[in-house]
Each structure stands twice: as C-alpha cells, then as structure tokens.
Amino acid sequence: MDVVIQIIASGLTLGAMYAVSTVGLSLVYGSLNMLNMAHGALLALGGYICFYTMTALGLPAVVGVLAAVVVCGLVGLLIYVCTAAPLLGSPQFETGVFIATIGFGAVVENVILRMFGPQPQPQSLQVPGDIVIGNVHIPNQNLLILAVALGLMVAMALLLKRSRLGRAIRATAQNREAAQLMGVRVGQIYAIVLALSGGLAAISGIMVSSLYSLLPNMGGDPMLKAFIICIVAGLGNVTGAVISAIALGLLEATAQYNLGVQYSFALLLFLVIVVLIWRPYGLFGRKQVVRL
Amino acid sequence: MTPLRRDVLVTVLLVALAATVPFLTSTRYIVTQTTLFFIWAIVVTQWNLVLGVAGIFSLAQMALFAAGAYTTAMLGYYWGVPIALAMLAAAIVVVIVSVIIGLACLRLRGPYVALLTLAIAQMLYLLIVNDTDCFTTPPSGCMPLFGGVRGISRFGDLGFRALLGAKWYVAHYYLGLALLALAILVSIVIIRGPLGLAFQALRDNPGYAMSRGISRFKYQLWVFAVSAFFTGLAGGFYAAQFAVVGPTVFSLSQLLLLLSMMVVGGLGRIWGPVLGALLLMLADEGVRELGDWRDIGLGLTLMFFVVLLRRGLAGAAEDLWRRLRRGRALVVPGR
C-alpha cells in the first residue's frame, strides 16, 4: 500500500511538471505548426534566472519566479521574431523553423554554459518539510509543484475558453486565413503564444531544477518527454496533452520503481515509437485527410 | 554536356586534386583531419538524399552512422572479424536498420518523422550509456555489451599499421577519399536519375505524380536503403580510423554540426553538402581555441542560413550564375 501511495505521489508530481511544459509546446504547435526545439533551453534559462535573482541578488522567491517568467517570455518573443516570423508563408516552414530553433536553442544553452559554468547547482527555491500519509513522507516541494501546476492548467483553460485572446488563439489554430479575414491579427497572436509558452517553460524549468539540479543542458530530457507527450496526445491537442502528461508521469514512476531509473526513459521512448507506428496522429488526435 | 556528365567530371577532377594532398604536406594532422572531413562529407551527402532530395525529415542519420561504427567494433571485438569484412557487414546491417526505420516513418508527416527518429537515436544512446552490467570481464575490467560510457576499443584495424608502419594514416586517407568519391557518384546518379525525378515529381505535384504510378512507398524505402549503405560504411571507417567507438557519436552537438553542413552548403543539391562540410570543418579548425563559442557560432550560422539564405551557398551560387547567363540562354528550371 505504501508503495502505491509513493508511486502515485511521485507520478503525479512528474506528470504535473511535464504538463506545464507540454501545454506550452502544444499551444505553439497547434497555432503555428511549429516544433520549438529551443524549448529545452528556455527551461534551463528559467531555472537559472530564478537561481540568479535569489542567490546573487538576494531577492525573495516570488521575484525570482516572476523574473524568470518575464525573461523567458521575452526570449520566446525573440524566438518568434528571429526564426518563425521571417519564415512564415514559406513552403517549407515546418522544416525550416525546426532547424532554426535547434540553432536558437544551442545559442541560449551555450550562453548559459558560459555564464554559469558546467557544474550542477542546487535550485535555491526549495520548500522545507513534508507531510506523512500512512508511512510515506511526501515533501512539501512536490505538493507545491502539484498545486502550482493545477493552478496554471486552470488558468490556461480559462484563458483559452473564456477570454477574447483565447478565442483568437483558437481561431488562428483552426484556420489561419479565416481568422485573418475576421480581423484577428495573426502575427500578434503568434507572438503572444510563443511568449506564453516561454513563460510556462520558465515555471516548468524551475520545477524540474528544484527536484534535480541546475545544469545548462538540463532542458533536453524534459523537452523530449514533452514532445513524447505531445505525440501521444496528437500534436496541438492541449487537453489531450494534460491527460497524457499525468498518465506518462504515473507510468514513469511505476517503471522507475519496477525496472530501475535507467530504463524508464528508454521505455517511454519505445512507447512513443509504438504509438507513432500504430496511431500516427496520436491517441487523441483526429485523422487528417490530406487534400492534394 | 549533360548535367550528369558534368557532375561526374567535376567529381573526377576534385578527387584527383584531393589525391595530391598527402604529397604536398607531410603534416600528419592535416592528413588525418582531411580524412575526418571525408567521413563527415560521406555522411552528409547521404543524409542529403533523404532530407534534401526526398524531403523526409529524418534525423536518424547519426544513429545509423553510430550503428555502423558499433557493429564494426563489436564484430571485431567479440568475434575477431577482420575490420574490412566487418565494415561491409556493418553496412548491410545498417541498411536493414534503416529500412525498418523507413517503414516506421512511412505513415508519418514532416515533424513527426523528425521526432520519431530523434526518439530512436536518444533511446539507443540511453540504452548504451545506462547499461552497466558486465557482459565480459577482460583484464582491463568490466565490459558491458555495448561498451557503456567508455565505448569499445582494441577491436583490431584495417591492417595498414602492420603494412606501412608509421605512414598508415596515408592509406586511410586514400581509402576515405575513395569511399567519398563513391558516395558522391551514388548521390549524383540518384539526384540526376529516375529516383531524383520521382521525388521532384512527388514534391511538385503529389497528386499527379501518384496518378502516374509513382509510388511514394517504394521510392522512400529505396532512398532509406541506399543512403544507409554508405553511412554505415562511413561509420565502420570512423571506427577503424579512431580505433575507438564511444557514445559521443550520438551527441547533439555532432548532429548540429552535420545539420549545419547541409544547411550552409545547400539542401537537396549535389555539391551543397560537400561544400558545407569543407567550410564548416575549416571554420571549426579556426575556432578550436574558442571552446564554448563554437556551438554559439554554429547555432547562429544555422539560424542565419535557414532564415536568410534558405537555399544555402550552392543555391545562392546557382542563382548568381543564372542571373549572369540570363542574357545568353534560356533559364532552365530544376536543380
């Protein structure tokens, strides 16, 4: 019984963490058809900015998180300006933007490497203490991650479903030309979506680094996991992404317990390969009819 | 002169030029670095067939290269197979692996293919690095099946060390050059031949091409198989050249370098990848002391070329040439 509680607790924490970064990626793909390979670098950047404001500048945690969100949002905007905007409308947009964002991510990651060095650092935003359920100690840090992730998901859902901006984002995702004809400023929407995704990446990066540690290339694995979740859900499907994130978090925790940590990620990758071959448009995706 | 003959002639001239290098310099460093350039040039000319010509967004090429290197090393290490034979066997194994990956990718579209192939490469990397169980225990300590983090070494060589003594690297230089020449010839034949035309048709008007009986399925599998053969051979040659194979061949920065070579030179063109490989190897030599700045520079180069010089240097040169000739001849569309 204790084992089950333990697995559920860590699985939910992992899933919540993944959900935050996946929603950003999924939103970007849904509206722009763009795979943002610089997302992992944004995760690391967010973690480091929070660390820097709290240790070097000695400011409280709230300021650290806000600074990380703002900076990563701005860098997200920069990604739009540097890579996506000039390529919009080109016939090979998807390939081009994929390669360009790989380049952007490499730049950000190596700038971090130059500024903070290659050695791992502990994230300074830590909540001490834990609560006890049965015989299982659950750190407050995990509970905080879960709460923040839930809050963010609710906020994102409200933003997408209830606000004017959310309607514009959904309209652009469904049909760019039609949205444009209805007076939606598509370029602006794209910029906002990338900035939003950058902000979410910052929070996700702080979460990931608080459980493991800060490294310039720490974003690589979470980004690949986020992509896996996107694929399993069907690229661009935000609701499916949240469900898949939680499910994969639980699965990863189970695999870590039963098979050992070193095989859990390989197992996830194997799973995505199977899903892609069996259902190429994802579990929650709808089959697209391609007109020639 | 037909474009095919022109390209073959250019290849012959370039190979003859490259063959003189070991006579002009006795610096071992230059010769071995040029050999390394041959290896990367082989990989990018073959990757270009998949990515640039067929338009399949596969990132599996480095994984295939690694598969070739690992198969060669393991055949040599565990069974003592002569390395030349092991290289050939590795190339065939890689072709099979590539066709399987190709089958998995057939139903997928652009970015999904990139993610699937990236996931395969990452999975192989993690399985190799995280495997710590001893498969055999040689005197030097524990040896996992795939060599683990340290990789595999002491699997024999091509035999030139015994034959030529200290000058063995010159023999490797010529072997690399020969392999590159073959790889370029294959890519010329494919781009100028029916396979290239089929892909051009499928890209320009898929509906019409398919109704004329051009099967995407068949041609995609062909391009996966052909490009894998030389990639696997190059991987085996890499193992023989460095006498060690480790998981670093999977690294993202290596993938970044090779991708940049193609993008800088010009995707989908015959000479683009070779040109890009040459330029980036030279640039890499120039920034060797700069350390971290290397990857920053690579990233910026990649962005610059994708955003502003979409067709790469080869494409830009072609445009310039066409503009100069516009007065004289008809503009010929195509590659």
Q: What is the pLDDT of residue B44?
A: 93
Shortest CA distance from A271: residue in chain B: B119
Q: What is the pLDDT of residue A286?
A: 61
Rounded CA separation A142/A150 (Å): 12
What is the least distance, in Å, from the CA of A270 to any CA of chain B?
Answer: 7
Q: Domain-by-domain residue ranges, chain A?
A: 19-240+267-278
Residue B267 neighbours by CB under 8 Å, 6+ apart: B48, B51, B52, B311, B312
Q: What is the pLDDT of residues B103-154, one digit of tens each?
A: 877 777 777 788 888 888 888 888 888 777 777 777 666 777 777 777 787 7
- Say whether residue A86 is in contact with chain B using an 8 A CB cutoff: yes
CB A1 within 8 A of CB A244: no
- Say whether residue B214 is in contact with chain A using an 8 A CB cutoff: no
Interface test with A, best of B61, B122, B126, B304 (most A CBs within 10 A): B126
Distances (CA, A) of A91 to A84, A252, B262: 13, 38, 19
Find, among B198, B189, B192, the residue nearest to B55 by Cα. Answer: B198
Predicted confidence (pLDDT) at residue B312 exceeds the cutoff of 60: yes
User: Nearest CB to A103: which of B114, B118, B299?
Assistant: B299
User: Residue A255: CA atoms inside 13 Å, Cβ hemisphere, count?
Assistant: 18
For residue B260, the chain A residues in CB contact (below 8 A) are: 103
Interface test with A, best of B290, B302, B309 (most A CBs within 10 A): B302
Predicted confidence (pLDDT) at residue B329 exceeds the cutoff of 60: no
Shortest CA distance from B119: residue in chain A: A269
Rounded CA separation A37/B256 (Å): 12
Q: What is the pLDDT of residues A213-248, one digit of tens each?
A: 888 888 888 888 888 888 777 766 778 888 888 888
For residue A100, the chain B residues in CB contact (below 8 A) are: 302-303, 306-307
Q: What is the pLDDT of residues A11-39, one digit of tens each?
A: 888 888 888 888 888 888 888 888 888 99
Residue A61 neighbours by CB under 8 Å, 6+ apart: A50, A54, A124, A125
pTM: 0.84
**Weakest-pLDDT range from A276-285, B14-23, B80-89:** A276-285
- Say whether residue B301 is in contact with chain A using an 8 A CB cutoff: yes
Rounded CA separation A154/A160 (Å): 10
What is the least distance, in Å, from the CA of A69 to any CA of chain B?
Answer: 23
A35 with B259: Cβ contact below 8 A: no
Predicted confidence (pLDDT) at residue B97 exceeds the cutoff of 70: yes
What is the least distance, in Å, from the CA of B262 to any CA of chain A?
Answer: 11
Shortest CA distance from B100: residue in chain A: A277
What is the least distance, in Å, from the CA of B142 to any CA of chain A?
Answer: 18
B123 with A270: Cβ contact below 8 A: yes
Q: What is the pLDDT of residue B327?
A: 59
Q: Across chain A, what does the average pLDDT equal?
A: 84
Q: What is the pLDDT of residue B335?
A: 44
Rounded CA separation B33/B38 (Å): 9
Q: What is the pLDDT of residue A220?
A: 81
**C-alpha torsion A263→A267→A269→A275, nearest 10:** 180
A235 with B107: Cβ contact below 8 A: no
B119 with A109: Cβ contact below 8 A: no
Rounded CA separation A103/B306 (Å): 10
Q: What is the mean pLDDT of residues B24-34?
A: 83
Interface test with B, best of A35, A97, A99, A223 (most B CBs within 10 A): A99
Rounded CA separation B188/B48 (Å): 11
Token pair belonging to A204: 């996700």
